[in-house]
Amino acid sequence: MRLRRVWALVEKETREIKRDPFFLLMAFLVPSLFMVLFGYGLSLDVKNLPFWVLDYDQSKTSRDLVYHFVTSRYFELKGSLLDEKKALAALTQGDIRLILVVPEGLEKTLVAQRSAPLQVIIDGTFPYRAQVVKNYVTAIIGLFNKKRLQEFFRRKGFTEQQLETMAEPVRLDVRYLYNEEAKSVWSIASALIGMILLMVPPMLTSVSICKEKETGSIYNIYASTITRGEFLLGKLVPYFLISALNALILFAWAIWVFKTPFRGSFFFFILSALVYALCSLGIGLWISSFARTQIAALMISLVVAMVPSFLYSGMLVPVSCLDQTGQIEAHLFPAMYFVNILHGLFLKGLAWTTLWPEFMALVVYTLVVYFLAYISFHKRVKR
Amino acid sequence: MKRLRRIWVLTVKEILQLLRDRTLLIATVYLFTIDIFLAASGVKLTLHHAAYMVFDQDRTQASRELRGRFRSPYFDLKGLILRPEQAFGALDKGKVLAFLDIPDGFEQDLKTKRQARVQLLVDTSNAMMGYLVAGYASQIVAEFSQEQMLTQLGLTEEMLDRFPLIKLKQRVFFNPNQEETWFTALSELLTVITMLTMLLPAAALVREKERGTIEQLMVSPVSTMEVFLAKILAMTVVILVGTLISVGIVIEGAFHVPIRGSMAVFMLVTTFYVFTSCGYGLLIGTIARNLAQVGLLTIIAIAPIVFLSGTWTPPEAMPIWLRSLMAFSPLYYFIQSSYGIFLKGVGFDFLFPKVGAMFILGFLVLGLTGFFFRKRFIG
């Protein structure tokens, strides 16, 4: 390994990047842009759910019931016209997410001391949303029933003290750990650092090498005395600098724009982010050994990075909730280890001693990737 | 006639070019089949086997009864523990999502008609899942609580009807069993189509620029629009074949997504979408100077298009300024139409405004592209 040769390549590469200011701008703009879009756009908090009421009862009780929904911050009344066809059309259009159907005679039934049905029709296109809607509706009706039950017992002559216990003999206190207000933007913004650092860097290295292949300038490398190790290293250095800077910028976004708390060691964050960036760039180097054109390199980078980092990293779904194949897949990609570290440092405030196994997994992963890139890159023309 | 022939020749050239890049071809096939399968099969966003631990300090029949309610498919017991520290360790490591703490004297409280309290600690480092865990746990406990109330009053479960309460009857439309694969497989297919239709035409155009073959096209009798049209046509053929394979093998074959509308209509809508989306791709190809730029520009364009499409985040949950940008995401219209055709079985009155808006967007973008292209190459 001759450092002078590596340095020459680094210089050439740096100059090439600098002379393409558009590319340089993009290399820094894209990660930040992603952070903004995904951070704001991927909010899975369900709120302001538009709904429609078909109140066939038009009584005091039914109005009180609807009022419970209207005043909740999770629901927003969009229509109350007594027209089933219109309501269903709005549901199909996606203008509303649920329809409340209050049947005729609701109040009468309740006054007669019997239970009365309330029908709720939910848009099930996106099952996650449907599940959350169900939970909210159930919670609101639960509250409504609790009040009615207390009223019922009060009239039977129980004391105020007894009422609380009578209506709810068992009570669940839920406490949120790590993300005390359960803000989805906190979970997402911190995990996004891992996702973006897996999407952009492989593209930079793989496209840079495949560009030389396509324009033919790679033949200069083939014919020169530079070894393949030196070549890969020289390609790596400038993009590593870009990616490391990006890691810092993304960190700043998460902390200052999305106000995610950071409760761990900053030094450990930097250390693991650098290893992860190296790993990600290495994947790009490896891709370039079998992709022949830049466009193929781009596509493979996107395919390798997007789906696994989005779906199997623990960003959307905790890895412990995945099924067997999903768990295996999650362990096959580096995103999961880094997202664990990120959530550990940002939200959980874990010490590096707890996160050590994840970090070691990243190191081993990186070494394997570089080994693969090294053995599959040849200074020979492939047939 | 001559014009048609020219377009035809160019289209064949584009398709041949695509087919001869074997890596690219494999990547395309992968995207249409395995990628969609992987994306849809492994990941469940709904609550599904959430791992939890129980610290049962009461160890009575009542406490056993309560913790027995937290069961599959929503919950998965990972262990009864003797010290709370064990649970905190597991929560830290992400091995479990929740920790149920039943205090001593739980049964005693129930018997003496005092309010019994149990605590649930939820890992919300993943807020979405934490929310669901909390929601389901609350429902389970509320049900248990209601039964306890009846017992305390000496009544049976059927007698609950004697109370003046609201009984909730929930029905889920369009996807009654809430099969998540229906949603994910379709959304992944639409994303794949978007990615390919933007990336490939942009790359094809820039490759001509990089190699200088664009100059040959400029001096030949073909017009700018004919060059574009040929690239779009070639893309349409590739995407339609890919979509048919994908729907046949993965979406129908593996996941049994219903097609309540007409498949032919879906293919037609897809054709319109390819036209619009290719317009965006060609715009990128016209602006970018080399492929590295194309890559970065494409993902810059794809990310907002996907995230403003309303797939993951519904419009009502977005800030106003983002919501107004949704009108420019062609995927928004395509997704509405596709879910409409597959899951809702909608007709033309539903599709017409959406496809129309999409098409207008396509024309605008293509016009803009033509303008930039002429400015750059013809002067």
CATH at A123? 3.40.1710.10
Determine the Cα–Cα distance for residues B362 and B75; give it in Å rounded to an integer: 47
Query: Is residue B232 exposed (0-12), middle (13-18) or buried (19+ Cβ within 10 Å)?
Result: buried
A199 and A346 fall within a common domain:
yes
pLDDT the model gives residue A267: 94
Residue pair A60/B331 in contact (Cβ under 8 Å)? The answer is no
Residue B45 scores a pLDDT above 80: no
Which residues on adjacent β-strands are paired with residue B76?
B51
User: Which one of A138, A167, A196 terminates a domain?
Assistant: A167
pLDDT the model gives residue A161: 75
Residue pair A282/A201 in contact (Cβ under 8 Å)? The answer is no
Give the contacts of A6 (CB within 8 A, at least 6 positions apart): A230, A233, A234, A237
Determine the Cα–Cα distance for residues B99 and B54; give it in Å rounded to an integer: 6
User: Which one of A167, A193, A217 terminates a domain?
Assistant: A167
How many CB atoms within 10 Å of residue A341? 30
pLDDT tens digits along A27-48? 898 899 888 888 877 766 777 8
A369 DSSP assignment: H
A331 and A202 fall within a common domain:
yes
Inside any domain, residue A173:
no
User: Which one of A167, A193, A213 terminates a domain?
Assistant: A167
Does residue A99 sit in helix, strand or coil?
A: strand
Query: Is residue B206 exposed (0-12), middle (13-18) or buried (19+ Cβ within 10 Å)?
Result: buried
Residue pair B140/B69 in contact (Cβ under 8 Å)? The answer is yes
The arithmetic mean of pLDDT across residues A335-354, rounded, is 91
Cis peptide before B164 (omega within 30 of 0): no
- Domains of chain B, start order: 2-43+178-377 (no CATH), 50-162 (3.40.1710.10)
For the ranges A188-197, B6-15, B44-53, the lowest mean pLDDT is seen at B44-53
pLDDT tens digits along B215-253? 888 788 888 788 888 889 998 999 999 999 999 999 988
Q: Is B45–A162 a contact, with Cβ atoms under 8 angstroms apart?
A: no
Q: Residue B215 half-sphere exposure, CB side, CA atoms within 13 Å?
A: 3
Residue among A97, A115, A321 minimizing CB distance to B50: A321
Q: Do the interacting molecules here have an ipTM over 0.85?
A: no
pLDDT the model gives residue A51: 93
- The CA angle A290-A293-A296, to the nearest 5 degrees, is 75
A363 pLDDT band (50/70/90 cuts)?
A: very high
Determine the Cα–Cα distance for residues B276 and A246; give it in Å rounded to an integer: 33
B136 vs A contacts (CB less than 8 Å): 135
Inside any domain, residue A383:
no
A38 and A130 fall within a common domain:
no
Locate B95 and state its tokens: 């091995």
A323 vs B contacts (CB less than 8 Å): 42, 44, 49
Q: A interface mutation test: which of B63, B91, B173 has the most A CBs within 10 A?
A: B173
Locate A166 and state its tokens: 């009578």
The domain containing residue A134 runs over which residues?
49-167
Does residue A266 sit in helix, strand or coil?
A: helix
Residue with tokens 């070019």: B17
Determine the Cα–Cα distance for residues B162 and B245; give it in Å rounded to an integer: 57
The arithmetic mean of pLDDT across residues A245-261, rounded, is 93
Cα separation of the two ends of chain B: 29
Residue pair A215/A352 in contact (Cβ under 8 Å)? The answer is no
- The CA angle B254-A93-B167, to the nearest 5 degrees, is 85
Which of B201, B193, B233 is CA-nearest to residue B32? B193
Q: Which of residues 213 through 272 in chain B touch A, CB cutoff 8 A?
A: none
Residue among A125, A170, A180 minimizing CB distance to B183: A125
pLDDT tens digits along B271-305? 999 999 999 999 999 988 887 778 778 877 887 78
Inside any domain, residue A175:
no
pLDDT tens digits along B134-175? 989 998 998 898 888 888 877 777 777 777 888 888 888 888
Does residue B254 sit in helix, strand or coil?
A: helix
A323 and A220 fall within a common domain:
yes
The total number of structural domains that make up chain A: 2
User: If you average pLDDT over every residue of chain A, what do you get?
Assistant: 87
B300 vs A contacts (CB less than 8 Å): 26, 29-30, 33
